[in-house]
């Protein structure tokens, strides 16, 4: 009997072959598929659902001129009337453009914070301010909450800078001093880059603590200090392993690596803002809930499977490379196949927790977990896009700057006037100069070719499984 993965691979292979025949004109069924629908089919086959960001998916459906915007699939009864389809499309377009405007203002706020704290001025590290904001803004469609987007983007900036400091810049003494300062929450004695990182962290935690307390009455200062202390300690452990040339067992590496990837830094604090009425012990339990542990492990493995070549040159540890050390008879293809198989099993269990009903964890928190997993899938689907300077350029422009390309629509009919006194009209100050929106080039990308996302199918015939390697998050 074929496994779920094998059955899915069969369907994909058949669909690709059918599409190739239709595109080449080898079948008379060509007439049943329009050119726009071919693009949709290629998109569905080439990009896994887990690697798709909601905001960009919405844009794609807006630009699909032959699709009904509320047609949820060929087996769905939820279809909008074609009579009102243009009105719905107009509203959706206005909503998308409004979101873009909001996102541009917020990304400049985050850039200003990064410059003020000095994080963006560190020449040794990757400058990923826009990447960090884009990822959280485009990944999920929750109610408009600027606080969540800003705190996650700022956290991701600190994670990137601190991770590079531990990997490349700081001496072992500097790293130990910074880790100790974070765990004591006292920066006395720090200087240089370590002091800048610690001050930025204190600023972030203080600001977020106040916002969370005002919104929900929860004081999460201790939780934030503990989770950051845990993460800095994991970076220190990895730095010591790399500099000593040691190779810990795979299980020990993954126990540390699931913390050093820092996805729990993003999802747990934002869950507190997304679900203010839920008790803190349900959102942020100790030990972490299974869904959070699954997220931490999956994102670590996604990173490692696309970064092992770079990290091998840098002398850093990586799960793919550790597998080779513990299995000398295995090839690099065997190691990658083993990690992919492990990821497949972990993602199935993760989705069961996301979709479980009833569940003690609120739906919004579970959506955040899923959203952040999709971000990592997007970054590490077929390559390490996070470390690239240009791979994300077109997606960021489409998400934040360039309006959707749709046919000219008729203006919406004004709402009928309501009886009674008219509401007061407030004048909103123009924020374009305040937030320096001129940083974003307002040019069209009509005619630009987007890089293909499709890749070769994953197959394996030989699998090296470790009987002692077990993951249990129940």
Q: Quote the pLDDT of residue 262.
A: 94
Cα-only R_g, the chain: 24
Count of beta carbons in the 10 Å neighbourhood of residue 94: 12
Angle at 200 between CA 199 and CA 202, to 5 degrees: 65
Q: Quote the pLDDT of residue 334.
A: 93
More confident residue, 21 or 150: 150
Share of the chain above pLDDT 70, in %: 71
The angle that helices 129-139 and 393-400 make with each other, rounded to 10 degrees, is 60
**Mean pLDDT over the full length of the chain:** 78
Rounded mean pLDDT, 352-360: 87
> Which helix (DSSP H) or strand (DSSP E) does residue 210 occupy?
helix 192-216
pLDDT tier for residue 186 given thresholds of 50, 70 and 90 = very high
- Short-list 341, 287, 237, 302, CA closest to 472: 287
| pTM score | 0.77
* Distance (Å, whole) CA 418 – CA 232: 58
Q: Quote the pLDDT of residue 141.
A: 66
Q: Which two tokens stand for residue 262?
A: 């820092």
The answer on pLDDT for 203 being more than 60 is: yes
Out of 134-148, 239-253, 367-381, which region has the weakest mean confidence (pLDDT)?
134-148
Q: What pLDDT digit, counting tens, does each position of 122-179 carry?
A: 887 788 888 889 888 888 766 558 889 999 999 999 999 999 999 888 899 999 999 9
Q: Quote the pLDDT of residue 42.
A: 67
- Short-list 311, 376, 336, CA closest to 50: 376
Out of 22-31, 43-52, 66-75, which region has the weakest mean confidence (pLDDT)?
66-75
Query: Is the backbone of residue 447 left (phi > 0), alpha (psi -120 to 50) or beta?
Result: left
Length of the chain: 474
- Contact between 17 and 344 under an 8 Å Cβ cutoff? The reply is no
Q: Quote the pLDDT of residue 453.
A: 41
Q: What pLDDT digit, counting tens, does each position of 439-470 carry?
A: 444 333 333 333 444 444 433 333 334 434 55
pLDDT tier for residue 31 given thresholds of 50, 70 and 90 = very low
Q: Quote the pLDDT of residue 108.
A: 94
Q: What pLDDT digit, counting tens, does each position of 58-69 carry?
A: 888 888 755 544
Rounded mean pLDDT, 409-414: 63
pLDDT tier for residue 235 given thresholds of 50, 70 and 90 = very high
CA distances 161 to 109, 175, 329, 364, Å, are 18, 13, 38, 29
Q: Quote the pLDDT of residue 4.
A: 54
- Contact between 321 and 308 under an 8 Å Cβ cutoff? The reply is yes
Count of beta carbons in the 10 Å neighbourhood of residue 355: 11
- Contact between 258 and 251 under an 8 Å Cβ cutoff? The reply is no
Angle at 116 between CA 115 and CA 119, to 5 degrees: 50
Out of 44-58, 170-184, 424-438, which region has the weakest mean confidence (pLDDT)?
424-438
Q: Quote the pLDDT of residue 414.
A: 67
């Amino acid at each position: 009997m074929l496994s779920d993965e094998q059955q899915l691979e069969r369907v994909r292979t058949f669909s690709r072959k059918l599409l190739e025949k239709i595109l080449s004109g080898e079948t008379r069924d060509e007439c049943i598929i329009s050119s726009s629908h071919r693009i949709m089919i290629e998109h569905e086959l080439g990009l896994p659902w887990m690697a798709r960001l909601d905001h960009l998916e919405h844009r794609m459906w807006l630009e699909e001129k032959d699709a009904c915007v509320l047609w949820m699939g060929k087996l769905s009864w939820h279809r909008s009337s074609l009579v009102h389809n243009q009105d719905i499309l107009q509203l959706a377009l206005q909503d998308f453009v409004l979101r873009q405007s909001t996102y541009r203002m917020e990304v400049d706020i985050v850039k200003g914070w990064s410059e003020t704290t000095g994080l963006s001025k560190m020449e040794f590290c990757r400058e990923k301010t826009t990447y960090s904001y884009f990822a959280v803004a485009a990944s999920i469609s929750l109610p408009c909450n600027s606080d969540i987007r800003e705190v996650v983007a700022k956290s991701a900036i600190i994670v990137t800078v601190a991770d590079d400091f531990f990997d490349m810049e700081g001496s072992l003494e500097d790293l130990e001093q910074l880790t100790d300062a974070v765990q004591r929450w006292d920066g006395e004695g720090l200087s240089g880059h370590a002091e800048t990182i610690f001050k930025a962290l204190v600023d972030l935690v203080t600001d977020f603590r106040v916002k969370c307390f005002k919104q929900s009455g929860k004081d999460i200062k201790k939780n934030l200090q503990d989770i950051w202390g845990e993460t800095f300690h994991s970076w220190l452990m990895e730095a010591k392993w790399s500099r000593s040339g040691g190779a810990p067992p795979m299980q020990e590496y993954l126990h540390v690596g699931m913390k050093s990837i820092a996805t729990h830094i993003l999802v747990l604090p934002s869950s507190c803002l997304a679900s203010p009425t839920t008790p803190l012990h349900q959102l942020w339990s100790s030990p972490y809930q299974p869904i959070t542990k699954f997220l931490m492990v999956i994102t670590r493995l996604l990173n490692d499977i696309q970064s092992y070549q770079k990290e091998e040159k840098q002398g850093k540890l990586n799960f793919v490379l550790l597998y080779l050390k513990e299995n000398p008879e295995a090839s690099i293809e065997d190691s990658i196949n083993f990690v992919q198989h492990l990821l497949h099993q972990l993602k199935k269990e993760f989705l069961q927790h996301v979709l479980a009903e009833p569940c003690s964890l609120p739906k919004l928190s579970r959506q955040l977990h899923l959203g952040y997993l999709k971000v990592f899938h997007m970054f590490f689907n077929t390559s390490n896009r996070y470390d690239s300077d240009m791979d994300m350029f077109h997606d960021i422009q489409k998400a934040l700057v360039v309006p959707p390309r749709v046919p000219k629509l008729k203006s919406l009919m004004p709402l009928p006037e309501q009886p009674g006194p008219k509401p007061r009209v407030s004048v909103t100050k123009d924020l374009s100069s305040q937030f320096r929106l001129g940083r974003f080039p307002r040019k069209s990308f009509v005619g630009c070719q987007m890089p293909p996302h499709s890749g070769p199918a994953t197959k394996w015939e030989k699998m090296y499984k470790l009987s002692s390697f077990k993951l249990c998050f129940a």
